[in-house]
Amino acid sequence: MTTIRLKRHKEESLLRFHPWVFSGAIDAILPSPTQAIPPTQATTATWDAGGSPASAPQGAAPTAPVSSPTDPRRISDGSRVQTRTSADGRPTVDRRSTIPSQGPEEGSLVRVVAHDGTVLGVGHWQVGSIAVRILAFRTDTLPDNFWHTRIAEAYHMRERLGLIRPDNDTFRLIHGEGDFLPGLVVDVYADTAVVQAHSVGMHYARHDVAQALCDIVPQVRRVYYKSDDTLPFKAPVTGDKLGYLIGADADNDADCWATENGLLFRIDWLRGQKTGFFIDQRENRALLRRYAEGKDVLNMFCYTGGFSVYALQGGARSVTSVDVSAKAVELVEHNVRRNFGECPRHTAVAADAFDFLNAQMVHDQMVHQYDLIILDPPAFAKHRDAVPNALRGYRRLNAKALECIRPGGILFTFSCSQAVDKEAFRLAVFSAAAQVGRRVRILHQLHQPQDHPINIYHPEGEYLKGLVLYVE
Ligand code: SAH
């Protein structure tokens, strides 16, 4: 196993269980542990511009240079990157710098040591500004039964939290860094687990993961793998990125119904978005149900209609579900029928959100208003550069929705952009309220649920935020 030695003083975040090693923190790549350079000698090793050792320590194997001007290796978007730590301790990307030149195979296991040789952990090597994602800290090998142990820990945590019940067989079992398995997502729907790899290392571990899922989670009898959209764009992976790993059963695909808080949802992992369903809104939907009685509800960006079904169950007078995807709208109708039969209280519309909201106003007059509106758009900012535009988008969207709310109405508004923090989102909604001149009060501040835990040492895991507003 290759050893990655960090620059001096770059071990602190790993000692605090932050699971990422940034490429800029790497001092040397040592082909094997037996060839690790003793700390006293290592300090004398330097590299010339061509990447060969200017003064290699005696007896040490050649190590790969970390910053070589001749190094052509780049991250997938073609730029050269290195991360530095900014004043507030967060990593920032410096696109002028280089990353290690002769890294191990992407996806292979590497051990990480501090500059003085202290063992920090074992993880997956990847190409890019995040060079290693740590799987196990303070050990230099992956423990026996690693996959079974980690998946069992995640399962028992959810069991203890009361999330796995006959009336709730839908839950996220593995939430990447939040479950100490960086790069892996597993959602469970009734008897099926849907696995997504976000790193090449997790792609190569997929069969171990699938076996552990079947061994540990009693309800799982088949495992579907869906990583065509999530693996690094240019990663040279071998093996299928899509398909059943265990229990292929094409006949049943069309008819998987999963239960969330006693309500039934059809899950289509083959054709649906992400793993097929947005489990992360479960608790927020349950909260909405409490406010729905007698209300005219508008569910914008409804996808498969999670909020709509809860609103109908909560006694809404009418529910209008809107999504730009015709396929999603079809699924909402399916889900409503399955739970309530023919339901004249529900209308589904395939339309762009802004077009729909704009159409509520004709000649400066609102033609229709609602008592309760849900705004749950897709991530407006996928990276930091997109944040200013995203904030303008949130302001515009929320202003439009606020205009469509009757006095005394309620707005559930969300952002799932990881790059937009909750203060920035709140400010965007504040600007929207000020723009339309309504009196607005915050009733709840919402976030992701218990099965999407955030490792306290990895705040980047926090992504879903929401506000419930009382609008006068
Ligand atoms: N609230 C949903 C999840 C929403 S995901 C739930 O609880 O399951 C975001 C949805 O926004 C997707 O279904 C996507 O099709 C839809 N969408 C994306 N752009 C849109 C647009 N411009 N107008 C309307 N819907 C859009």
Domain boundary among 85, 107, 137: 137
pLDDT tier at 88, thresholds 50, 70, 90:
very low
pLDDT tier at 76, thresholds 50, 70, 90:
very low
Q: Is 442 left (phi over 0), alpha (psi -120 to 50) or beta?
A: beta
Distance CA 392, CA 414 (A): 14
Query: Exposed, middle or buried, 140 (CB in 10 Å: 0-12/13-18/19+)?
Result: middle
Residue of minimum CA distance from atom 26 in ligand 1: 324
Domain membership of residue 446 (yes or no) is: yes
- Encoding tokens for residue 117? 């040789």
Question: Which residue bears the tokens 């899509």?
Answer: 242
Please tell me the distance between residue 325's alpha carbon and the centre of ligand 1 in angstroms.
8
Question: Which residue bears the tokens 């239960």?
Answer: 259
465 bridge partner residues: 415, 447
Domain membership of residue 273 (yes or no) is: no
Out of 187, 279, 301, 375, give the residue to mutate to test ligand 1, the one with the largest number of ligand atoms within 8 Å of its CB.
301
Is residue 54 a contact partner of residue 68, using CB atoms and an 8 Å limit? Answer: no
Please tell me the distance between residue 20's alpha carbon and the centre of ligand 1 in angstroms.
31
Residues 249 and 226 in one domain: yes
Residues 399 and 428 in one domain: yes
Out of 303, 374, 464, give the residue to mutate to test ligand 1, the one with the largest number of ligand atoms within 8 Å of its CB.
303
Higher-confidence residue of 361 and 77: namely 361
CA distances, 202 to each of 124, 131, 237 (Å): 8, 14, 11
Please tell me the distance between residue 347's alpha carbon and the centre of ligand 1 in angstroms.
16
Residues 244 and 284 in one domain: no
Give residues (CB < 6 A) around ligand 1: 273, 278, 281, 301-304, 306-307, 323-325, 328, 352-353, 376-378
| Ligand 1 atom closest to the CA of 303, numbered from 1 | 13
Q: Which DSSP string do the residues of 41-100 spell out, in sequence order?
A: HHTT--B-TTSSBSSPPTTPPP-B-S--TT-----TTS---EEEE-TTS-EEEETTS---
State which amino acid sits at residue 26.
Answer: I
Please tell me the distance between residue 375's alpha carbon and the centre of ligand 1 in angstroms.
9
Residues 285 and 337 in one domain: yes
Residues 155 and 172 in one domain: yes
CATH (domain of 249): 3.30.750.80
- Encoding tokens for residue 288? 């909405």
Domain membership of residue 227 (yes or no) is: yes
Residues 170 and 77 in one domain: no
| Ligand 1 atom closest to the CA of 355, numbered from 1 | 23
CATH (domain of 459): 3.40.50.150
What is the per-residue pLDDT for 250? 59
Domain membership of residue 269 (yes or no) is: no
Is residue 56 a contact partner of residue 62, using CB atoms and an 8 Å limit? Answer: yes
pLDDT of residue 153 exceeding 60, the answer is yes
DSSP state for residue 450 in the 8-state scheme:
T
Residues 324 and 456 in one domain: yes
Please tell me the distance between residue 376's alpha carbon and the centre of ligand 1 in angstroms.
7
- Encoding tokens for residue 129? 């500004």
CATH (domain of 130): 2.30.130.10
Domain membership of residue 263 (yes or no) is: no
Out of 324, 331, 355, 375, give the residue to mutate to test ligand 1, the one with the largest number of ligand atoms within 8 Å of its CB.
324
SS3 408: strand
Distance CA 26, CA 111 (A): 12
What is the per-residue pLDDT for 89? 38
| Ligand 1 atom closest to the CA of 374, numbered from 1 | 1
Residue of minimum CA distance from atom 20 in ligand 1: 324
Is residue 3 a contact partner of residue 113, using CB atoms and an 8 Å limit? Answer: yes
pLDDT of residue 33 exceeding 60, the answer is no
pLDDT of residue 95 exceeding 80, the answer is no
Please tell me the distance between residue 163's alpha carbon and the centre of ligand 1 in angstroms.
26
Out of 322, 323, 412, give the residue to mutate to test ligand 1, the one with the largest number of ligand atoms within 8 Å of its CB.
323
Over residues 368-405, the pLDDT tens digits come to 899 999 999 999 998 889 999 999 999 999 999 999 99
Catalytic residues: 416
Residues 320 and 458 in one domain: yes
Range of the domain at 401: 278-471
Residues 228 and 283 in one domain: no
CA torsion 224-227-229-232 (nearest 10°) is: 170
Residues 77 and 194 in one domain: no
Domain membership of residue 394 (yes or no) is: yes
Residues 96 and 163 in one domain: no
| Ligand 1 atom closest to the CA of 307, numbered from 1 | 7
State which amino acid sits at residue 104.
Answer: P
Distance CA 131, CA 101 (A): 12
Residues 433 and 459 in one domain: yes
Half-sphere exposure of residue 334: CA atoms within 13 angstroms, side-chain side: 17
Domain boundary among 137, 154, 173: 137
Question: For the whole model, what pTM was predicted?
Answer: 0.85
SS3 150: helix
Domain membership of residue 261 (yes or no) is: no
Residue of minimum CA distance from atom 16 in ligand 1: 301
What is the per-residue pLDDT for 311? 98
Residue of minimum CA distance from atom 15 in ligand 1: 325
As for how many domains the chain has, the answer is 3
Contacts of 438 (CB under 8 A, 6+ apart): 402, 405, 471, 472
pLDDT tier at 367, thresholds 50, 70, 90:
confident
Domain membership of residue 266 (yes or no) is: no
Orientation angle between helical segments 326-340 and 306-313, nearest 10 degrees: 30
